[in-house]
Structure 1
């Protein structure tokens, strides 16, 4: 061996160490509702489930997983885009373990919201419990990777939070004598923002430094809301305004926390404007139907009402923005993921 090669050999451990330190995103860690739930609700007693066909008919292997979609979710595509596994496992799925979760884990629960009362409506996992599961996961990760490596993984991972729609549509505007009678809508928005702030500070304390908070889509344009809209068939503009205002408050919170929490980068993903653009110009994006879902009549069905017995379910979900009356198709989820990767999440590449 040439003496001249020795300095390079001595530098190899340094290079490897630097590669570890500058690792971009070793895992995707997800909190939220049905927009990002990859199957946790399969393992709790709730009617908010989708682990049956035709859900999952376009998923890998054509199997329903508990995703409220015909295929993959936006977070699955984001995981793949970061060079991680193409699907993110649900934390409660017993077929996965800490080795899998070390590269991506989902704590989300369909039907959940920022408000604990929202999760009570369909008996799903509240946000405080998602946080509890996360802390349990942190302990398992430290036992698996060792303290130092686990701390690095938690610090470098990308945290995605997608919540809020259910707080309004399943709770505030729906439950008699509930939040709608306790707060004005502006007060309720502030109440939710306070919960969001507390949650973001909690995960920061556990090591989170790269965080994406996804806003609410124009919820008044969901097929289910169109059919019950005061202007039958058109978007419920009141609900859209509420979503827009809530998103504005989220952005103010993010700006505040970025200024107060040392070393954190919290970004806001604007799905509102993207969905609005797609819904107004569906043909531009290759969609033929932006007003109804593919499953069953596509007007009011989701969950157990969206099942394989319906003769009306479309043949090609790629032509639809929505899969059921509440949730996007895999193709729309892919569009959402692409935009997020090219805009807000680009900073983490």
Structure 2
């Protein structure tokens, strides 16, 4: 069992690095801190009362030892892939795991929650953890980290970390506030919440933040986000705020999917996985979509390659 857990991530990171066209001189970070939704949640929802869970088969069928960890895919998520590609750690554990070893804290954890958003009303009835609450868990993480390594080293780890926030998609689809305000005003409301997150993270010592746009933007939200990040970076000394173009990452991944062995772009491998599980296809590596919402591990691998090639170098 131990050998499998070790070998799978190492093989995977080698394949990731081989895909980066020889560009191996990536920025160095002390740890990784993950915020957001189901694209990045490595299992926090397992430990809260919510219907948004993926801790049952066939989720995780291609994860080491075929464990359904709460990741919304057949295997690894972008959280794990990015941490591996940067040489930080192979798997990013959920912070809410009550059995989380202290040793995991120094290299980073995940605070993301599936079905969450920047708006506290997004999926509130489902019990997801909004981004504002995820920041509160980060504060608890920081206090624990200070106990483990001391205050100065803890602050240094946070200051030298890569913080990743992928959120907003659920807000645009599920928040009742969108109907109240209208699409454009609601987009501005979400941008205010993004600004709140960045300023609060900055106040806690975070300096390097990768902020994702939304994959399906029809109202100019992503360009407004780019402009906001530029203004905030100018007003917050020492920050590096980098935009992750998820919309282009997803669309370009569709275009290159066939070249990477993915032959089915529309039909999910496991169409009934949401909400209660189902029978998955026998060849998920040939599918772009795992369930009706989330990509397969194979698709995530293509998407993360784009971000590694085009977003991460901007932190250098």
State the TM-score, normalized to the length of structure 2: 0.88
Q: How many pairs were matched up?
A: 290
Deviation for aligned residue 1:70: 0.2
Residue 113 of structure 1 aligns to a residue in which SS? coil
Residue 250 of structure 1 aligns to a residue in which SS? helix
Q: Does the 8 A contact of 2:123 with 2:174 survive in 1?
A: no
Q: Alignment RMSD, CA only?
A: 1.6
What stretches of structure 1 of length at least 5 have no aligned partner? 1-22, 172-177, 219-239
What stretches of structure 2 of length at least 5 have no aligned partner? 1-26
Match of 1:62 in 2: 66
**Among 248, 265, 269, the residue aligned to 2:223:** 248
Residue 191 of structure 2 aligns to a residue in which SS? helix
Take 1:216 and 1:302, find their aligned partners in 2: how far apart are those partners?
A: 23
**Among 240, 252, 258, the residue aligned to 1:283:** 258
Deviation for aligned residue 1:60: 1.2
Deviation string 1:151-178 (CA, Å, 9 cap, x unpaired) is 110100000000011102222xxxxxx3
Match of 2:85 in 1: 81
Deviation for aligned residue 1:303: 3.2
State the TM-score, normalized to the length of structure 1: 0.80
- Seen in structure 2, the aligned counterparts of structure 1 residues 344 and 136 have a Cα distance that, compared at 3 Å, is same
Deviation for aligned residue 1:97: 2.8
Deviation for aligned residue 1:348: 4.0
Match of 1:151 in 2: 155
Take 1:342 and 1:155, find their aligned partners in 2: how far apart are those partners?
A: 23
Are 1:103 and 2:107 counterparts? yes
Are 1:169 and 2:201 counterparts? no
Deviation string 1:116-160 (CA, Å, 9 cap, x unpaired) is 000404111122211110011111111111111111101000000
- Seen in structure 2, the aligned counterparts of structure 1 residues 280 and 341 have a Cα distance that, compared at 3 Å, is closer
Take 2:31 and 2:209, find their aligned partners in 1: how far apart are those partners?
A: 12
Match of 1:214 in 2: 212
Match of 1:160 in 2: 164
Match of 1:224 in 2: none
**Among 277, 284, 287, the residue aligned to 1:306:** 277
**Among 45, 50, 53, the residue aligned to 1:49:** 53
User: Which structure has the larger Rg?
Assistant: 1
Residue 265 of structure 2 aligns to a residue in which SS? strand
Take 2:218 and 2:267, find their aligned partners in 1: how far apart are those partners?
A: 21
Take 2:210 and 2:66, find their aligned partners in 1: how far apart are those partners?
A: 30
Deviation for aligned residue 1:82: 1.4
1:166-205 matches, cutoff 5 A: 166-171=170-175, 178-205=176-203
